[in-house]
Structure 1
Amino acid sequence: MSFSRKSFFSKRALPALLAALLVPSIASAFTPFVVRDIQVNGIQRVDAGTVFSYLPVKVGEEFTEEQASEAIQRLYSTGFFSDVKIDTTNDVLVVTVDERPTIASVSFNGMREFDAPSITKSLAQVGFGQGRVFDRSMLERAEFELKQQYLSKGKYGVEINPIITPLPRNRVGISFDVFEGDLAKISEIHIVGNEAFSEGTLLDEMELTTSGMMTWYTGTDKYSREKLEGDVERIRSYYLDRGYLEYSAEPPQVSISPDRESIFINLTVHEGQPYTVRSVKLAGDLIGLDEQIQPLVQIEEGETFSAAKTNATAKAITDYLGSLGYAFANVNPNPVLDREAQETDLTFYVDPGRRVYVRRIQIGGNTRTRDEVIRREMRQQEAAWYDSNSIKSSRDRIDRLGYFNEVDVHTTPVAGSPDQIDVNVDVKEKPTGLINLGVGYGSTDKVILSAGISQDNIFGSGNTLSLQVNTSKTNRAAVISHTNPYWTQDGISKTTSLYYRRTTPYENSNATGDYRVTALGAGLNFGVPISEYDRVFAGVSFEHNEISDFRESAPQAYRDFVDEYGEKTNSVIFNIGWSKDTRDSAIAPTKGSYTRLSGDVSTMDLRYYMLSAQQQYYLPLGRAYTLAFNGLVDWGKSYSDKAFPVIKNVYGGGIGSVRGYEGASLGPRDSLTNDYLGGSRRLAANVQLYLPFPGATRDRTLRWFLFADAGQVANTDGGCAQGIDNEVEDPCGWKYSAGIGLSWQSPLGPLQLSYGRALNAKPGDDKQSFQFQIGTGF
């Protein structure tokens, strides 16, 4: 008697239920018997033991027609076989199978939008991948999944053609030929049902936009399912932040043109009415901290309900409890609506959970960086109460090292110990060695060439070693430095450096500049952290200065310097200072402040001191606007009977001080050559309003700005040379300007373009409306 599964049901044509009904009908004449032996035929890769494990009978047991049907169903349901047959001969059970081929390889041709590993991982989640059993239905699922990935990126014209290549030992190779096609662009976005807010207001909340002037750069006109979902959520948040607690939206309707190049999006919203907060209460287990938690509530009675303030309150309470060791605290805001009065009673239910402490801190992912380099940045300590503030601070400090692409700090409960957790720090290292070559251009320094080699994490120790070379029309510099950020366990840093600087002083078009100032020096500096944001620094350097190529056509001020100090001078310079940095970014900050105070005192041949101060403040105005303030003061004076050395003067004018005036043009002029001399005193103040660039609202790297500048360069002794025959009316007076500019974090560095107008230029002042610079900040 023989039973063949293949004759009972096709994997597509008939369901398993029909097959189960057919098996007994064919086997009606089957007589039960005791199995003397079991044989398996047709297996190539599947182990015989695997087949035995799916059989409902063993040698020595009675075999019935029900078990025959069950055996066939079990073996076929494994997916390993395309055909299963059971025969009996002289009480021997013979199982014959036809194995499905396995997938030996999966490859992609013509795929550029995705990388192969990520797509391979995605297909594995639907059961298709290398080593899996090949099945036509799974191939169709894989093809569908791959197409969905492209559709989510807005590529509706994608074509996918799978190619199956038979291989020895019952294997197949699968290759997907992909024609990606062009991205479909958004032609129209419409919002229906909005009454309280205009369509334009709601569209401003969305990241996706229709094609515009800057969408070639931002790509926001390219449809993405994930971005659309985010936009739907942003609109929802916009309504909830304004009290519309009954707001709802229907799933967005997305349609595509017949040529598959244009996308049309329709959003239907149901606004409801805004609710006012009638009462705000705290409930749950406040663990006796009512007075401490109550000030954390940001939403007040009588104001319009705001989801943003509600969530911020819940987070503030959670963070506060987390700082006390309650790692699993939960705060649940619950608004109860009074629809007739359009009011809500808001209650925050607080559940602190159990207080826990950190058993151990575990670090992973660092193959080159030593554990101690990461551990010394941790502010959360082992065997101490859990502190969410310390955890966050630790994560930020590790990230600021610049050694890692990713830093993930998370906690896991300790099994069997409800009051303990482990803190896991997982990092993904990035190459910290850097060779850079750069070409820039500035309206003052003209062509700027730079080259350097640096290793920020040499031998995984956290130390930095670098060599940098820069050259331009007026400056040339080479610096080699080594920094140990943890010279002591307390975090005192030590930096040693050697430097060479050659400067041709700034000149105007009438000067020949037949001289140059060369400085050779070595320095040793220390930095001492006094808080998470504050640092005190001090150091000493030795510097040798020489004026070479000195000719009769040199400026009078440099002749006077050589007469008084000589062509060669040596000096030892002591410096001390303090800085505080709370900015959210050192390159493109949007909030926070930066403060720096410093003082230099020089001895030996050059006896002078220079005091400097700088204050920056960034005030966010809504989501896309930032108001920035900057103030700068330098004050130098000689403490001997000689004049302040002209080679140590500071300069003003142009980007970085007062735009609209020629770079370095503020301050005294030489009486013989009209050269810009700078001065021993500099004051500058700037205010700048950053605005989103049209079409690039959410791109913080590209912004335009309005600015107003004020500045003055003079000498602390009161003297102010006014150039040849006193042709410059007031070079040391206050200068004002205003204008418009563009800021972009380009691949070559921060790029700033500005068009400024001098507001109070006097006769003899050198103006320059258009200015730009690569590699400069605010």
Structure 2
Amino acid sequence: MHKKFYLNKFLFLIVVSFCFLSLNILQASESLKINKIIINGNNHVKKYTIMNRLPWKPGEDFDESKSAIAINNVYNLGYFRQVKIKKEILKHHKVNIYVKVEEKKLLAKLEFEGNKVIDSKKIREELALDKLTTVDEETGHRICNGIKKLYADESYHKTEVKYLIIPDPNVPEKVTAKFIVDQGPKSNVVRVNFIGNTKIPERKLRKMITTREEWLLGFVEDAGKFKQDDLEMDKHRIEFLYRDKGYLTTTVQKADVKYSKENKNIEVTFYIKEGDQFKISKIDVSNEDNDEKVTTEKQLEYISLEENKPYSQSKMAESITSLRDYWGTMGYINADVYPQVKPDEETKSVNITFFVEPGKKLYVNRVNITGNTFTRDKVIRRQIDLEEGDLITTKKLNRSKANVEYLSFFERGGVNWKIHRLNDEKANLELNVKETKTGNANVGISYGSDKFNPRPSLKGQVSVEKKNLFGMGFDAGAMMQGNRHGFQRLEATYYDPALFDSDSSVFATIYKRWEEYEQWANVNVMPKESTLGASGRFGFLLPKWDKRLQFVTELGIENIKNNQPHAVGANSEVFEPLVRQKFQQGTLSWLCLDLIKDTRNHKIYPNHGYRIMWHNKIAPPAINLEYSFIKSELEGSWYTPLIGDDNLVFMIHGKTGVVTPVGGTYITQDTRKKKIIPYKELFHMGGQDTVRGFIWGGIEPAWITNAPLGAKYMIQLNVELQFPLIPDYSMRGHLFYDAGAGWNTPKDEITNKAFIKRDKFDLRHAVGFGLNLTQPMPAKIDWGYKLDRDKAAGESAHEFHLNMNYAW
């Protein structure tokens, strides 16, 4: 009985305790409400500025886990040295939050002393110090380090910077921050050593690294400058070169930097631990796709690594990219390729397996264009080969990107795709563009020889050009050019690449040209010809065959007048018929039929792609009184990068042509004459447009007085190595080789053909170098040197050429 009583009492106590415990837990779990937020210590910063940074508001639930966020938010305002947060729990589940801050001193002014190399203005701008309103020890250290970094960029690596925080005697809350700079000597790299390299010679290692020894023209490539970040990267570059040759285990153990001659000279030494060369024993591909068309043999075709050859890091990267692109052409745009390299130390060989995870095919949900603040969407969109619902492939992405780049309305490298995946099957495509300057208004003075003035002369030019007019893709321009004798050229042009948003284009021009032929001697006056003309071109894209293929037709008319020169002096009776024929006045009407394919990625500075044009110009005898001819030209150019995308570009350009009279006669002054080819429609070889290093007309049939007669046949070859001189591509250099010939002049009016020279095929050659400029005025400058100079004929060794900028 007693045992049962005590047992019941014990159970009763347990139940009562459990109830009290549950009540306390329920009370503790009830949320605390924020009663007030009290801010202390702020003398200059407004309370609402601090309140806006806090993750709590009065009346809301208090989440203590956000305290760290609150401290960071307030501290990041930059006004405080210290931020503390405390809580005070009140009755009725309420809490007060106390935010205590310690303000930094207000900055009255900044002073710099001893900074002779870098002025105070540059320090302020580079370190954004004009925005600084407060200062403390941490800020002082940060600015000191920033100044030392600026000096290091100028090759002052031993610069010391100290700071003083000086209280304002009148306003205790304010201070002056003074930075004292001890610049030290300028230090340059005078020697780079390699220790431990037996497999790869020093000259190849030097080419790989950016830390280079100082030399006379080193300023072009920053040779002699030392940068710690570059030194670390150079260690990886050296290791990459070794791995590219198959030395997989080679490491650069350290790179020592020693200063000498009062810290003016820097000597860098790389310590290399070489390993053995590994060859590839087997290459395999494994993928998860069940498509029967995707075989291992097919994928191996895209791998540039080869069995029984040394392992190569660069070929490994090429193989990964090629495999991704291959899968991308089939719509697996997110395919991943993971190479597994298994080295065997005993046999010094590696097995390589490429694991491919194709993922799922993606389809276009929407195509968005961003970054085009001026260019209309439709101008860009009509160059894109992808529409909603299309399968996304690398081929379509790359082709669309190249089409947009070709417009030349955007920066180099400023056209890029972004893929925003929505789910396993759909993605939004974003084409981001960075617009560039597309308008020019130039006034310039230049000196040199050009097409119709082989002798160097002073020329002036005023030009206005606007590409992408109104953001609609239209091109419009006007030009006025003259020399010491008067006007040379007045011209206005307009081009619409998509007439009424169609696949058709239209180009119109009106012009007046004055041409002088200074090489014509034995005439009573220097021949001058004025031409007033206009033409209209209509282009039609042929997208069913190729979006870059275009058929172009042109209609034009010119009125040709001259000062009616006459032959004088010896043999004038033989020369006079030729002069009359070459400078025949009249009206010329023509029709052109062209077929053009242009895959270049840029109109001015292409680095890949090609352009082929078959040009045919017909002047039918039925609509021309004095003239009649057919002219046909085949022209092509090809670009490919050799180093990087733009560091070195190879270009080859070729052209061949023939012009022949169609026939027909006309009667003038009771004399029946044959309809002829206008002098300017014959081929004139030599000069910047054809073969540089020669004057205009210098390698074509000529009279014994050296007057160029023009040719019915021509051939031309131009080869260039192009490279940027300034990172923004506003100046590029090129080395060139040119070759060409013009032969067989019309001889209907020549009674004694012995007076003609250079009438047979004779291929001439020249080499040289030049510059392409886009700023301050578009220009192409070339110096050409003859490889087969004819001293007996009085040819100069070289020629200088200057003209408007263009790409072949």
In percent, how many aligned pairs have the same letter? 18
Match 2:282 to one of 275, 279, 282: 279
Look up the match of 2:553.
538
State whether structure 2 residue 494 is matched by structure 1 residue 494: no
Match 2:319 to one of 294, 309, 313: 313
State whether structure 2 residue 770 is matched by structure 1 residue 743: yes
Q: Displacement of 1:313 after TM fit?
A: 1.5
Structure 1 561/478 Cα, relative in aligned 2: closer, same or farther at 3 Å? farther
Look up the match of 1:139.
140
SS of residue paired to 1:216:
helix
State whether structure 2 residue 390 is matched by structure 1 residue 381: no
Structure 1 103/585 Cα, relative in aligned 2: closer, same or farther at 3 Å? farther
Write the deviation string for residues 415-438 of structure 1: whole angstroms up to 9, x where unpaired.
5x3332222223333332211233
State whether structure 2 residue 763 is matched by structure 1 residue 711: no
Q: How many residues align?
A: 715
Match 1:635 to one of 652, 658, 679: 658
Cα distance in 1 for partners of 2:55, 2:726 equals 65
Structure 1 547/83 Cα, relative in aligned 2: closer, same or farther at 3 Å? closer
Match 2:209 to one of 201, 206, 209: 206
Look up the match of 2:4.
none
CA contact (8 A) 1:670 1:722 kept: no
State whether structure 2 residue 557 is matched by structure 1 residue 527: no
Look up the match of 1:407.
414
CA contact (8 A) 1:54 1:74 kept: no
| TM-score normalised by the chain length of structure 2 | 0.75
Cα distance in 1 for partners of 2:780, 2:111 equals 38
Instruction: Give the residue type in structure 2 aligned to 1:487.
Output: L
SS of residue paired to 2:770:
strand
Match 1:644 to one of 677, 680, 689: 677
Match 1:547 to one of 532, 555, 562: 562
Cα distance in 2 for partners of 1:721, 1:114 equals 77
State whether structure 2 residue 358 is matched by structure 1 residue 352: yes
Instruction: Give the residue type in structure 2 aligned to 1:189.
Output: V
Q: Displacement of 1:413 after TM fit?
A: 3.2
State whether structure 2 residue 778 is matched by structure 1 residue 757: no
Instruction: Give the residue type in structure 2 aligned to 1:538.
Output: T
Q: Please, which moves more after superposition, 348-357 or 629-638?
A: 629-638
Cα distance in 2 for partners of 1:278, 1:664 equals 62
Cα distance in 2 for partners of 1:739, 1:53 equals 72
Structure 1 750/54 Cα, relative in aligned 2: closer, same or farther at 3 Å? closer
Structure 1 214/538 Cα, relative in aligned 2: closer, same or farther at 3 Å? farther
Look up the match of 1:772.
800
Cα distance in 1 for partners of 2:714, 2:37 equals 98
Cα distance in 1 for partners of 2:421, 2:55 equals 42
CA contact (8 A) 2:684 2:742 kept: no
Instruction: Give the residue type in structure 1 aligned to 2:270.
Output: L
Write the deviation string for residues 688-722 of structure 1: whole angstroms up to 9, x where unpaired.
474999x999x997667474634233326699898
CA contact (8 A) 1:527 1:535 kept: yes
Match 1:466 to one of 477, 484, 493: 477
Look up the match of 1:7.
none
Considering only aligned residues, what root-mean-square deviation do their CA atoms show, in Å?
4.9
Cα distance in 1 for partners of 2:104, 2:708 equals 82
Look up the match of 2:5.
none
Write the deviation string for residues 717-761 of structure 1: whole angstroms up to 9, x where unpaired.
6998989x73x6x411233445542233355633322222326x4
Write the deviation string for residues 324-363 of structure 1: whole angstroms up to 9, x where unpaired.
3323211011211011111111110101123222222222
Look up the match of 2:714.
682
Structure 1 336/480 Cα, relative in aligned 2: closer, same or farther at 3 Å? same
Match 1:733 to one of 760, 773, 776: 760
Structure 1 556/215 Cα, relative in aligned 2: closer, same or farther at 3 Å? farther
Write the deviation string for residues 508-552 of structure 1: whole angstroms up to 9, x where unpaired.
677665331111111111233443544332211121111126456
Q: Output aligned runs, 1:208-607, within 5 Å.
A: 208-225=211-228, 227-228=230-231, 231-257=234-260, 259=262, 261-288=264-291, 289-290=294-295, 292-405=298-411, 407-414=414-421, 417-443=423-449, 444=454, 446-447=456-457, 448-472=459-483, 476-507=488-519, 513-530=525-542, 531-548=546-563, 550=565, 553=568, 560=577, 568-582=585-599, 592-603=609-620, 604-605=624-625, 606-607=627-628
Instruction: Give the residue type in structure 2 aligned to 1:600.
Output: K
Write the deviation string for residues 630-687 of structure 1: whole angstroms up to 9, x where unpaired.
432221122124232224222113555455654412333346x54222223222345x
Cα distance in 2 for partners of 1:471, 1:262 equals 55
SS of residue paired to 1:546:
strand
Cα distance in 1 for partners of 2:313, 2:277 equals 12
Q: Please, which moves more after superposition, 273-282 or 317-326?
A: 317-326
CA contact (8 A) 2:578 2:749 kept: no
Cα distance in 2 for partners of 1:235, 1:750 equals 39
Look up the match of 2:671.
none
State whether structure 2 residue 637 is matched by structure 1 residue 608: no
Instruction: Give the residue type in structure 2 aligned to 1:440.
Output: S
Q: Displacement of 1:247 after TM fit?
A: 2.6
Q: Displacement of 1:397 after TM fit?
A: 2.6
**Structure 2 unpaired stretches of 5+:** 1-33, 60-67, 113-117, 665-673
Cα distance in 2 for partners of 1:339, 1:722 equals 84
Structure 1 770/101 Cα, relative in aligned 2: closer, same or farther at 3 Å? same
SS of residue paired to 1:441:
strand
CA contact (8 A) 1:502 1:518 kept: yes
CA contact (8 A) 1:499 1:521 kept: yes
CA contact (8 A) 2:406 2:602 kept: no
Write the deviation string for residues 544-598 of structure 1: whole angstroms up to 9, x where unpaired.
1111264565998995478669964112221122233455666666665443221
Structure 1 462/592 Cα, relative in aligned 2: closer, same or farther at 3 Å? closer
Cα distance in 1 for partners of 2:796, 2:160 equals 56
Structure 1 361/54 Cα, relative in aligned 2: closer, same or farther at 3 Å? closer
CA contact (8 A) 2:107 2:135 kept: no
SS of residue paired to 1:418:
coil
Instruction: Give the residue type in structure 2 aligned to 1:571.
Output: L
Structure 1 479/46 Cα, relative in aligned 2: closer, same or farther at 3 Å? same
CA contact (8 A) 1:111 1:179 kept: no
**Structure 1 unpaired stretches of 5+:** 1-34, 60-69, 124-128
Q: Displacement of 1:240 after TM fit?
A: 2.3
Write the deviation string for residues 472-513 of structure 1: whole angstroms up to 9, x where unpaired.
579822221111111153443211111111111240677665
Q: Please, which moves more after superposition, 543-552 or 705-714?
A: 705-714
Cα distance in 2 for partners of 1:718, 1:309 equals 63
Match 2:699 to one of 657, 660, 666: 666
Cα distance in 2 for partners of 1:385, 1:175 equals 63
Instruction: Give the residue type in structure 1 aligned to 2:787.
Output: R
Instruction: Give the residue type in structure 2 aligned to 1:579.
Output: I
CA contact (8 A) 2:104 2:135 kept: yes
Look up the match of 2:65.
none
Q: Displacement of 1:391 after TM fit?
A: 2.0
Cα distance in 1 for partners of 2:181, 2:440 equals 36
Structure 1 382/76 Cα, relative in aligned 2: closer, same or farther at 3 Å? closer
